[in-house]
Amino acid sequence: MKNLFKVAVVAATLSSSLVLANVAHAQDSKAKKAAPAPVLPVECPGYKRGTTQIVGERTGKKVQRAFEAYNEDKIAEAIQILIDIETSDTFDKAYVDRFVGNLLAAEKDRAKEANVRLTASVSTKVLNDREHADTLRLLGDLNLQEKEYATAIKWYNKWMDFTCKEDPAIYTRMAQGFYELKQLDKIIAPADKAIALYSKAGKVNKNPYVLKLTSYYERKNYPETVKVAEELVRQFPDTPRWWTQLGFFYMLVEDYKKALSTFEMANNQGYLTKASEFKALAQLYSTNDIPYKATKILEKHINSGLIKKDEANYSLLANAHHSAKQHKEAAKYYEIAAKFENNADLYRKQGLLLMSAEDYKGAVVAFEKALELGIEEPGRIHFSLMEANFYQNKFRTAYKYVLEAKKSKQLRRNAEAWAPYIKEKAKNRGITI
């Protein structure tokens, strides 16, 4: 924003030099070359450019001194010369206020002073049209910088009303102002105007798109958010963040197929760099019934250290292996996850998967660890231990656990059915229970 004020200062000083040339009576008009027709400051229907005014001779001499000081980088001196000017002429006063206001705007911590001077310069409406228009615009920029967003928008509207012009940069700044004011619904109109004007000029600017995206997202209008994100990807295909954000937005509207294809394309282009992005890709593989690919993504980035090695992420990996019916691998990672905080339920999951893999010995170890840690509903673990021992022909131990399982209201009936069956199998092997 400071650059805007530097430009404004240059414009002001150039304008001053023209005035001062008049004051110095530099009038060799025949020697001047014909210049191209200037762009009019106002585009309103029927507009006719008014007569250019100049400052009086007395004021002009003081302005000349200020201008010379400015050219010598004596900014403080130039400002003070202008501040000390006293004049009763309305135009002279407006001109000086504008000049010093421009200089103050470029100085640190003098924005309020600049605002006062610039506001005074346009209040009487005696400045030349270009100077008046430029000052209205500068007042908008100055107030935007100073976080006076409502005032900034007011000045931008005054500039448009006076000039009958439309500028995409102005519309973008107005949209920014509405965002800062939390008037999210008001962002859309100026953002759309900015986008259309940039497009008309054969240009594209991400800022109005981002403001529009933010407006819809923060108002939880996710379908419209997706549309803007799609446009951002089309307009800026080489920007990684738009791909990943589009993928996340597809997830918000539960379009998991498009979310997966978006994340896959982003990954193939090397655009995924964050743990959250790779975890999202893994989640989408699982959601779209491709759990094997989910395991590969998670294993790669957990092993590299990009995805944190913790209970939650190892549980996620274990679940992916489980979905892929890779029971031994799933059991291995559930055990790793369980060890972080002695999670009894994860040991239970490990045991069930080892049972599915017919590793009954390993299952017993996992189930006993779950019991040791005080798992909720121990009856289910007792029942599982009964099964694991039974399939190892450890009938006495199996019978011990089936008696424990009978204490559970939910499992009593099943346990009562198993008890005589265990006794019978034991008897057939010559084992007395």
Q: Domain residue spans in the chain? A: 1-25+52-165, 274-363, 377-433
Q: Which amino acid is at 430?
A: G
d(CA 12, CA 5): 10
Residue that the structure tokens 């008014």 belong to:
50
pLDDT in tens, 255-304: 999 999 999 999 999 999 999 999 999 999 999 999 999 999 999 999 99
- Complete DSSP assignment for 52-63: PP---HHHHHHH
- Average of per-residue pLDDT across 170-196: 98
Q: How far is CA 338 from CA 34, 304, 408, in A?
A: 85, 21, 25
271: left (phi over 0), alpha (psi -120 to 50) or beta: alpha
What pLDDT was estimated at residue 66?
95
Backbone angles phi, psi at 158, to 5 degrees: -65, -40
174, 190 in Cβ contact below 8 A? yes
Q: Which residue has the higher pLDDT, 251 or 10?
A: 251
- Average of per-residue pLDDT across 11-40: 44
Lowest mean pLDDT among 16-20, 53-57, 366-370: 16-20
The CATH T-level fold of domain 274-363 is: 1.25.40
What pLDDT was estimated at residue 52?
83
The distance of Cα 181 from the centroid of its chain, to the nearest Å, equals 18
pLDDT in tens, 51-62: 888 999 999 999
Pinpoint the alpha helices (H) of 51-187.
57-71, 75-83, 90-105, 111-123, 129-145, 149-163, 168-180
pLDDT in tens, 416-433: 999 999 999 999 999 988
Lowest mean pLDDT among 52-66, 198-212, 216-230, 325-339: 52-66
Asked if the domains at 1-25+52-165 and 274-363 fall in one CATH topology, the answer is: yes
What pLDDT was estimated at residue 174?
98
412, 428 in Cβ contact below 8 A? no
382, 351 in Cβ contact below 8 A? no
- Average of per-residue pLDDT across 230-247: 98
What pLDDT was estimated at residue 36?
61
| Contacts (Cβ under 8 Å, ≥6 apart) of 269 | 240, 243
**How sure is the predictor about 38, in pLDDT bands with cuts at 50, 70 and 90?**
low
What pLDDT was estimated at residue 98?
96
170, 159 in Cβ contact below 8 A? yes
46 pLDDT higher than 80:
yes
| Contacts (Cβ under 8 Å, ≥6 apart) of 94 | 120, 121, 122, 124, 126, 127
226 pLDDT higher than 70:
yes
- Average of per-residue pLDDT across 226-238: 98
Q: Which residue has the higher pLDDT, 313 or 3?
A: 313
d(CA 62, CA 92): 11
CATH 1.25.40 applies to domain 1-25+52-165:
yes
49 pLDDT higher than 90:
no
Per-residue tokens: 363: 């299952």
Lowest mean pLDDT among 38-42, 100-104, 357-361, 427-431: 38-42
**How sure is the predictor about 25, in pLDDT bands with cuts at 50, 70 and 90?**
very low
**Number of other residues whose CB lies within 10 A of the CB of residue 384:** 21
- Average of per-residue pLDDT across 129-148: 97
27 pLDDT higher than 90:
no
Mean pLDDT score of the chain? 92
Per-residue tokens: 231: 């446009």
What pLDDT was estimated at residue 8?
45
Percent of the chain predicted with pLDDT > 90: 88
Reported pTM: 0.83
- Average of per-residue pLDDT across 67-90: 94
d(CA 332, CA 314): 10
d(CA 180, CA 175): 9
What pLDDT was estimated at residue 7?
40
d(CA 96, CA 130): 15
